[in-house]
Amino acid sequence: MSDDQQPEQSDQLTAPTAVAVLSHVVKSIVDDPELVVVDESHAKGRVRLEVKVGPGDLGRVIGRRGRTAQSIRTVVRAAATRDGAEVDVDFVD
């Protein structure tokens, strides 16, 4: 493998595919897509993605009994396999 194909070290995990998928899905659900912010942080060898949305949109993203949020997490985790990363998705106020 060349240097640019080497897997990244655990302290420098990034998940650009997962972030892109998460941003796209959430922006397509909310009323005000310009207020969607996805923050990426790293802890314990995992990538943590925090999603912030505009006022009134959090309930729409979470869905009834959290079904929409759980579906989003499933899709994003699948996308993260392409990045070679494990991700956790949190929806915050």
Distance (Å, rounded) from C-alpha 53 to C-alpha 63?
A: 14
pLDDT in tens, 18-68: 999 999 999 999 999 999 999 999 888 899 999 999 999 999 999 999 999
* pLDDT the model gives residue 7: 43
Banded model confidence at residue 6, pLDDT cuts 50, 70, 90: very low
* pLDDT the model gives residue 1: 42
Note the pTM of the prediction, 2 decimals: 0.83
Distance (Å, rounded) from C-alpha 18 to C-alpha 73?
A: 10
Tokens 């990034």 correspond to 14
CA 83 to chain centre: 12
Q: Hey, what domains does the chain have and what are their CATH numbers?
A: 13-92 (3.30.300.20)
